[in-house]
Structure 1
């Protein structure tokens, strides 16, 4: 098969999805330019839990969630928080979100997600090889732990979806769990382990590896904010107008995460996209500190502890408050005593407080595909909690579209106009 004719591709967004897409397209001979007002990999990509979970087939909204939402919103320790002043703007998204949790919708969404997640780790391996960064991906799996069998039984619906998708996982008894993670409190007696997952102990390092490979091969990055688009006589976007310059283009990819909604609107597409603000605290690593070998979800309080290169990272909570509200670290700081009980010996020194913007659609699926309005515009955003995990496979799918070749994954479920 002949290689596609090289094109001049402009990607707006230099987070992990934009970087993965840029390097993949460049490897196929395209002339690629990245544009972002922030340094590459420094926004949402920076602060995740570092997990690449090939079994991530459970949508955020599942059957019965709507019954629990009122109680969750009144509980100060709940993983879900809504800023009430934002509720009027959030309402259309929230209604779609709760509707996506209906039984038939959740099953369909899980099947569609599985088409992406099944190949996500292999896609990461190929991408990391392009960047000479395979060593950054650690094949240590993904672990969830529970205090007892009753708590584990509460995961039956999630496990049913994983079974339908053919996801490999193991039920761990107490001895097996503590052999795998001896530093975890003995209060946890049951584990759910997904071996076919990888861990990135410094997500920023992966972003930088991809960016370095991209620029070393001639890729161009402009740290500029996009203002608008110019359109040619044919009505198609012909240039990106930024705060500094006008950049001509052949093909445009919108991969700006939570900031993609306004860009898509300027290009004629209305998308149901909001931001699930996520928080993390970083605890200093000490010689006497606890042993933790992989990112671990603690069931009950619903937070993740990850053994990052610079210390233990606590990721917790979803806050629906848009892009403009000030961060509120109240809830995640209240979890610190509980985190220390779950992982005895956790350092008392907090070295970083961080908040990022997960770009989330109400049906937990990213937007990947061609614009229905402009033939030379492609979309790659809305990955929610799975931006890191799905970044490489997204880059491959965008490369398929640019090349005009058929993909093994049907993209209709991820279309921008599905809402």
Structure 2
């Protein structure tokens, strides 16, 4: 086995990006996943390169909204109450990380990750010949009334020092830009840095194909356990293909990553933030950009396969059956601002995926603290597509002993 060989567990955007950047550092790479590249959360997300989203997902003002959301079974956040005791430590940590000083520190760390999002993505897609998948149109956020707009002033103020300006549009200006927007929209703002991909699953597959073209391997199998010896992982026990020898290992297994970290003696607070989407090939509306709506978290994004409505946050564990009524709720939400939106028909598809969320809205990036030849890249929550290529670059730099452009301390594995 080559001294410069690496195995990556996970074939989503983080895993394939890590493999691609490691190849540029001279590594022989193997990707292992139970599903083919781009078939997990990377397939079904909202498609956003949301590099301006530096304020953490939950902060003190949003905490006040959560009780109201929880009493609505179709609200933007729900917990299956049978699962709540297991998730309680995660939610307690979430509350601690919603205090003002923590929000400021988390915002700064997220801003660091945002610096090279677009250039890192462009680098991989250009190499794969699919750079046309990026649309450089800033996402537009819509508001029902002035009070709704003013309520988000603190978030806009927090972004300004980092160069993200959220320009306001009147309702008429928003409709001139996107005629499908309804007359009830009071105003809108550009997000200040939120592009989109027209097919995120195809983007991931194209990067993976380039990895294979450059000599990488992809193994479709389930990693059952990590085989350790003398403080290192020496092999992976696969479900159907026996043992796979390891020289260096990167764990990018999404919502399942903490189960592997646990085998190495590391406790990581990670929950599956289950998101839903609906794709309408016959939506009846035409958009040139992605839209978000202040009434409820989620995005409407024009894609190759139709209009994708994505969002929702459901805590029910890894294995609970999907509740596709939550996908239908996204249609009802966006119908309020896109009055021409047609009813779902026989060609409409629905999907559920498991976002790997940490209670501080920061991913885990960097070396294991217990095992010498293991690195981590997971826990990106709602920002996996956005931060995936940058995470891959940072891991490749760290494994190669080169100094990165940001401080990785906020993303260390032992911070929980």
Alignment partner of 1:134 is 2:131:
yes
Residue 326 of structure 2 corresponds to 331
Quickly say closer, same or farther: Cα 1:177–1:384, change in 2 above 3 A. same
Alignment partner of 1:81 is 2:81:
no
Alignment partner of 1:148 is 2:145:
yes
Residue 343 of structure 1 corresponds to 338
Instruction: Find the aligned partners of 2:247 and 2:165 in 1 and give their Cα distance.
Output: 42
For the Cα contact (< 8 Å) 1:140–1:294, is it kept in 2? yes
1:161 Cα deviation after fit: 1.4
- Which digits, 9 at most, give the CA deviation of each residue in 1:362-393, with x for residues without a partner? 00000001111112100000000000000010
Instruction: Find the aligned partners of 1:227 and 1:113 in 2 and give their Cα distance.
Output: 33
Q: How does 1:14-413 map to 2 (within 5 A)?
A: 14-232=11-229, 234-243=230-239, 244-285=241-282, 289-350=284-345, 351-413=348-410
SS at match of 1:364: coil
- Which digits, 9 at most, give the CA deviation of each residue in 1:104-161, with x for residues without a partner? 1111111111000122112111121222221111111122111222211111121121
For the Cα contact (< 8 Å) 1:72–1:78, is it kept in 2? yes
Instruction: Find the aligned partners of 1:51 and 1:319 in 2 and give their Cα distance.
Output: 20
Q: Which moved more, 1:108-117 or 1:65-74?
A: 65-74
1:6 Cα deviation after fit: 6.2
Instruction: Find the aligned partners of 1:389 and 1:198 in 2 and give their Cα distance.
Output: 9
- Which digits, 9 at most, give the CA deviation of each residue in 1:328-368, with x for residues without a partner? 12233244344233212223234211000000000000000
Q: TM-score, normalised by structure 2?
A: 0.95
SS at match of 1:302: strand
1:174 Cα deviation after fit: 2.2
Instruction: Find the aligned partners of 2:136 and 2:65 in 1 and give their Cα distance.
Output: 35
Instruction: Find the aligned partners of 2:407 and 2:306 in 1 and give their Cα distance.
Output: 40
SS at match of 2:314: strand
1:65 Cα deviation after fit: 3.3
For the Cα contact (< 8 Å) 2:231–2:372, is it kept in 1? no
For the Cα contact (< 8 Å) 2:310–2:330, is it kept in 1? no
SS at match of 1:177: helix
SS at match of 2:334: helix
Equivalent pairs counted in the alignment come to 412
SS at match of 1:348: coil
1:222 Cα deviation after fit: 0.6
1:77 Cα deviation after fit: 4.0
Q: Which moved more, 1:60-69 or 1:20-29?
A: 60-69
Q: TM-score, normalised by structure 1?
A: 0.95
Instruction: Find the aligned partners of 1:370 and 1:337 in 2 and give their Cα distance.
Output: 44
